[in-house]
Structure 1
Amino acid sequence: MAMTHRTMIRMWRWRRNRLRRRSDAIEAWIVLTAWLLAVTGGLIAAVTATELSIHRFDQQRRESHPVAVRLTQNAASAASAQAVDDDQVWATVRWSDSDGLVHTGKTKVAPEIPAGTPVHVWADRHGHLVSKPSSRAMTDFAGACNGALAAAGVGVVVFAGTRLACRYLDQLRMTQWADEWEQVSTRWGGRTG
């Protein structure tokens, strides 16, 4: 069995030749533009999303502070229906802020702690209980993940747009090809189809 050797002509859409259609050149420019948009847009989106995410986490860290609170009731046992995912239970706590206002709220504590036991929680500047702020390492990791997702999102949008444009150009080429075959068949004296 004889093997055929296929020659690859690189960048044929950019070279002048008789077989290249205008839609081929347009497609080459679309693909080049898509690559540039994907790279630059992805980098810009990644940096922006990372910075915004880190800024938001840093702001949460600045606006929250630790508060010493006291349990108002005995904490339930871990086997009760109030148990949560990390072997802790919800309990009601009370504390006073710097202005002397008394606040109450619910927080997670170890099970079976007696009422009146001091517990440390985090509150925002309005006195509402909040989650413990993320560490700097966790903030950087979350920022990097958000940046990667933003870059991937830009890449997906650019890829989808490019595929739609190339599909339209393929349909245009097929229509042109069918019209040209129709002209050739009438020159040969008959129909081919």
Structure 2
Amino acid sequence: MRAATGVWRWRHNPLRRTTDLVEAWVALTAVVLLVLAVPAAGWISGARTDASLQRSVQAQYRLRQPTTAVVVRLADTPAPGLTSPDSSGEQPVRRAVVARWTAPDGSSRTGTVAARRELAEPGASFRLWTDRDGRPVAAPMRPETAHGHAIAVGLLTAALAGVFVEAARRLVVRRLVHRRYERLDRAWAKAGPDWGRTGAGS
């Protein structure tokens, strides 16, 4: 609102400089972009990300099958899912066990997998996801998790777009102010030698 008022105020003001009007228009443009374009950019980015992630979720559910695994005993070696640096946070709540499960083709499989500590006792059963060949894989991403990631991407995109708009506005205003000072310096240099002298028109 202040930007629009600034444009109107500078339209017929006798003290108006060209840079004043340009600055007011730049401010008004920035406000319009922040109100309309920035949220639109965030929404479009989030919607596209969500659509892409939902397709990935559907593909994961098609390629991965849930089955029930039965713990045979505790494992002597770490499970593959607990050896990567990214899974270090899961080590306190998960343990490596030797388990038996049924592959999608009906065959019986045995291997070392990660199970929650409360389900790591022999004879306990837990849900295990496998690929089409019966190998253990990570559980597919949940649809609501994909929605959460998409929302985060949309918010981040909107924030970055807002920062870009404000940075561009500040850069333009800075150049306008610099131009004003240059003009003032030239005018002062022209009038300076005669300023204050009798008959110099001051």
Indicate if the aligned counterparts of 1:91 and 1:107 stay in contact, CA closer than 8 A: yes
Do residues 11 (structure 1) and 20 (structure 2) align?
A: no
1:153 equivalent among 135, 152, 160: 160
Indicate if the aligned counterparts of 2:70 and 2:99 stay in contact, CA closer than 8 A: yes
Aligned residue identity for 1:145: A
In structure 2, distance between residues paired with 1:67 and 1:56: 27
In structure 2, distance between residues paired with 1:45 and 1:92: 49
In the other structure, the counterpart of 1:27 is 23
In the other structure, the counterpart of 2:114 is 107
1:84 equivalent among 79, 87, 90: 90
In structure 1, distance between residues paired with 2:164 and 2:132: 40
Show structure 1 runs of 5+ residues with no match. Answer: 1-9, 77-81
Query: RMSD in angstroms over aligned alpha carbons?
Result: 3.5
C-alpha spacing 1:55/1:105, structure 2 compared with 1 (3 Å): farther
In the other structure, the counterpart of 1:168 is 175
Higher helix share: 2
Aligned residue identity for 1:156: V
In the other structure, the counterpart of 1:5 is none
Do residues 133 (structure 1) and 141 (structure 2) align?
A: yes
The 3-state SS of whatever aligns with 2:54 is helix
The 3-state SS of whatever aligns with 1:129 is coil
In structure 1, distance between residues paired with 2:47 and 2:22: 37
C-alpha spacing 1:123/1:33, structure 2 compared with 1 (3 Å): farther
Query: TM-score when scaled to structure 1?
Result: 0.68
Q: Could you report, residue by residue, the CA deviation over 1:128-177 in whole angstroms, capped at 9, with x for unpaired residues?
A: 612453353x5444433332222111101111111111111111111111
C-alpha spacing 1:146/1:103, structure 2 compared with 1 (3 Å): farther
1:24 to partner: Cα distance: 1.6
In the other structure, the counterpart of 1:6 is none
In structure 2, distance between residues paired with 1:75 and 1:103: 12
Do residues 61 (structure 1) and 67 (structure 2) align?
A: no
Q: Could you report, residue by residue, the CA deviation over 1:98-147 in whole angstroms, capped at 9, with x for unpaired residues?
A: 346868564342257245643203346685612453353x5444433332
In structure 2, distance between residues paired with 1:124 and 1:160: 49
Show structure 2 runs of 5+ residues with no match. Answer: 77-87, 198-202
Indicate if the aligned counterparts of 2:68 and 2:127 stay in contact, CA closer than 8 A: yes
In structure 2, distance between residues paired with 1:51 and 1:125: 31
C-alpha spacing 1:72/1:49, structure 2 compared with 1 (3 Å): farther
Aligned residue identity for 2:6: M
In structure 2, distance between residues paired with 1:143 and 1:161: 27
Aligned residue identity for 2:142: S
In structure 2, distance between residues paired with 1:139 and 1:133: 7
In structure 2, distance between residues paired with 1:188 and 1:93: 96
The 3-state SS of whatever aligns with 1:89 is strand
